Chains A and B, each alone.
Chain A
Amino acid sequence: MKTKKLWVVAALVLFSVGCKSKPKDENEIRIGEFGSMTGTEATFGISTHHGIELVIDEVNAKGGVNGKKLKLISLDDQGKSEEAQLAVQRMITQDKVHVILGEVASSRSLAAAPVAQRYKIPMISPSSTNPKVTEVGDYIFRVCFTDPFQGKIIAKFSAEDLKAKTAALLIDTKSDYSVGLAEFFKKTFGELGGKVIIEQNYVGGDIDFKGQLTAIKSKKPDIIVVPGYYTEAGLILKQARELGLNMPVLGGDGWDSPKLFEIAGKSANGSYISNHYSSEDKDPRVQAFVSSFKARFKEIPDGLAVMGYDAALVLVDALKRAKSLSGPDLKDAIAQTKNFPAVTGLITIDKDRNAAKPAVMLKIEDNNWKFATRVNP
């Protein structure tokens, strides 16, 4: 009995050693992806994953890049920063990925980016908008606009289109994204002659916002800005309307999820968000993407799906141009991306590894996103 057990242990040890030393297939390009497939921001991870999958399958159907097939390795970080860090560590050291795509939330990109930087593996974030993300190092890129820009266009839209003079801010203090967006909104709104008259906080995961909203109500602002994520934003919208607050509520791309409508119901109508694209855009590239996405996943792609798609497109383009699959060569290829025609517009990676590109404002009507206006950088 005892010897039998010993054999099992020995076999297991040998097996695990065998796994580690087994050389990786040289005829494939391994792309690591980490995202929140579960947790409170699950639709972010899933949408992004669908976008990326679509590109990988399209490319592989045409024979891959330079004769090599693309292999996608996806890990779930459950929406937790510490898991994101572990996932990236694992993809680099065990799965030996050549390049990494992820994350949506800035907090998690910020947690994972230093790992990628340390191992000199390029990482492209599809939709982390906090400026600090790409400041981590020269291996970290993004294909979306940044919070200063997003905060600026929300402020501009509020002041110029909605003619708002006073605003209330409701900030998720645990999220880098929310705090950053609020800061840049406040700055631009002030420059345009507006004033933030009350600032309230919450923590992601809270469900009761009536206290904050009642305090906001007493100040009678023209608009409320909630730079947070959709689960809380949905509950906030619902409770705001219940307390008789009927002014427009504005948010960023963090609201972009069908779950927002499920939670908020009719209360969501009349609110605005800034986003990466509108599925109603008549641009042929947008329409081609929307129809192939719809055919595959039976739903209209949200902003995060399109950013996942674009991030993967930019990556594939860089892979074609790269001298080799080594980290430094790939990094140089991504950095040289110029006027690349992606779905959300022409993408140029600037010297700070950010993408300069336009944004749109969407209005919620009958639980649908309606195109309101396009704002150029």
Chain B
Amino acid sequence: MAEFFQHLINGISLGSIYALIAIGYSMVYGILQLINFAHGEVVMLGAVTGFFVAPLFGRPVHPSLGLFLSVLLISMVVCSIVGLLIERIAYRPLRKSPRINCLITAIGVSLFIQYFTQLDFIFGAIPQSYPELIERQIVFSIGGLEISNLQILVLGLSFSLMGILEFIVFRTKMGKAMRAVSESPEIASLLGIPVNRVIAFTFVLGSCLAAAAGTLVATMYPKVDALMGALLGLKAFVAAVLGGIGSISGAVLGGLLMGLAEEYTVGYLSSSFRDAIAFTILILILLVRPSGLLGTSRIEKV
């Protein structure tokens, strides 16, 4: 029984990281109908930033919550700037082009960041170990069930960030503008909503969550390399589609489902099926609900 709950906890903490990343995919898609493939790379840059910034607070790194939060904040700022730049340089000039052009550009941006980061004077191709920002401790140990402070941190931080996001989208003026732009950019701009600024803001929000995800991943699994964003991004993208791309709550649900599915597959089926199972679930759900679990199907107007 303890084993079952241990898998549950592992799965939720992995899933909430997927959820954080999936939200970024979903938000951008909701507004631009663009799959921002470079999002996984922003996650990686979040981790890379932490790798460089943490030692600046004093060597050797002294783990503390304050240090973690400062590193997190700086990573968020850096990733927001990167997100803004990606939007401004790569996507805005293509706003009126066919969707396939944007998609290819997105893949191009993703590859560019991956290989640019691998250059020796940026980060290099060698995986590095991430500094220990928070000392891991077992806080709960009941009947063979072990819960570490890091898992609680991941859960707490992910869900509070999702709460803040929920507040911004549904309770603020900017959120209202975001929702309006996602309904119809043309009408929104006729009504005086600064569409470009709203889109830029969406990228900032998504990048902040990506930075948080990157910092959490690197804290949980202390290895940073230039290609770490690729698989994480892919899985989070699947999670976003699974939950219904364009829907924030769908992304959260999809992320958690992915995390749990992976964890229970490894635990009770076979660890070799780990990645296969995620995609099998995706195919099955899309067969039954083509727009994802919580997605609403839009009727294309002619």
Contact = CB atoms under 8 A, between A and B. Distances in A.
Partners in one complex: yes
A214 B271 contact: no
Interface string B255-276: 0000000111111101110110
Interface in B255-302: 262-268, 270-272, 274-275
Interface in A234-262: 234-235, 238-239, 242-244, 259, 262
A259 B225 CA distance: 13
Nearest to B6: A214
A11 interface: no
Interface residues of B, number: 41
Given A217-B3, A263-B129, A265-B132, A211 B223 contact: no
Interface in B170-229: 217, 221-223, 225, 228
A215 B265 CA distance: 11
Contacts of B228: 207
A83 B181 CA distance: 47
Given A39-B126, A208-B14, A244-B146, A217 B271 contact: no
Contacts of B146: 242-244
A234 B129 CA distance: 10
Interface stretch (A26-34, A100-108, A155-163, A198-206): A198-206
A42 B126 contact: yes
Contacts of A238: 222
B88 interface: no
A215 B271 CA distance: 10
B263 A235 contact: no
A78 B125 contact: yes
A234 B271 CA distance: 19
A262 B128 CA distance: 8
Contacts of A211: 7, 10-11, 262-267, 271, 274
Interface residues of A, number: 33
A214 B267 contact: yes
Contact of B223 (A203, A215, A234): A234
Contacts of A208: 10, 14, 221, 262
Contacts of B268: 215
A274 interface: no
B144 A210 contact: no
Contacts of B11: 211
Contacts of A203: 274-275
A231 B221 CA distance: 11
Contacts of A244: 138, 141, 144, 146
A269 interface: no
Contacts of B3: 214-215, 217-218
B100 interface: no
A214 B148 contact: no
B102 to A, nearest CB: 29
Q: Among B14, B132, B221, B271, find the residue whose CB has the most chain A CB atoms closer than 10 A.
A: B271
A40 interface: yes
A30 B36 CA distance: 48
A243 B128 CA distance: 24
A189 to B, nearest CB: 20
Q: Which of A39, A78, A200, A207 has the most CB of B within 10 A?
A: A207
A175 to B, nearest CB: 14
B124 interface: yes
B225 A40 contact: yes
Contacts of A367: none
Interface in B105-163: 118, 124-129, 132, 136, 138, 141, 144, 146, 148, 150
B231 interface: yes
A264 to B, nearest CB: 9
Contacts of A173: 272
A60 B247 CA distance: 67
A38 interface: yes
B10 A214 contact: yes
Contacts of B125: 38-39, 42, 78
A43 B125 CA distance: 11
Contacts of A234: 129, 223
A212 interface: yes
A212 B223 contact: no
A218 B6 CA distance: 10
Most buried by B among A42, A201, A208, A244: A208
Contacts of A235: 221-223
B133 to A, nearest CB: 13
Contact of B124 (A38, A201, A231, A265): A38
Given A207-B223, A208-B221, A211-B266, A217 B144 contact: yes
A207 B136 contact: no
Contacts of B270: 201
Given A201-B271, A244-B144, A207 B10 contact: no
A98 B43 CA distance: 46
Contacts of A218: 2-3
B10 A210 contact: yes
Contacts of A214: 3, 6-7, 10, 267
List of 5 A-B pairs having minimum Cβ-Cβ separation, nearest first = A211-B266, A38-B125, A262-B129, A207-B221, A210-B10
30 contacts: A38-B124, A39-B125, A39-B126, A42-B125, A43-B126, A173-B272, A200-B271, A201-B271, A203-B274, A203-B275, A211-B7, A211-B264, A211-B265, A211-B266, A211-B267, A211-B274, A212-B266, A214-B3, A215-B268, A217-B6, A217-B144, A231-B127, A234-B223, A239-B221, A242-B138, A243-B6, A244-B138, A259-B129, A263-B129, A265-B132
Given A39-B125, A217-B6, 14 more contacts: A38-B126, A40-B127, A40-B225, A43-B126, A173-B272, A200-B266, A207-B221, A210-B263, A211-B10, A211-B263, A214-B6, A218-B2, A244-B141, A262-B128
Interface of A: 38-40, 42-43, 78, 173, 200-203, 205, 207-208, 210-212, 214-215, 217-218, 231, 234-235, 238-239, 242-244, 259, 262-263, 265
Interface of B: 2-3, 6-7, 10-11, 14, 118, 124-129, 132, 136, 138, 141, 144, 146, 148, 150, 217, 221-223, 225, 228, 231, 262-268, 270-272, 274-275
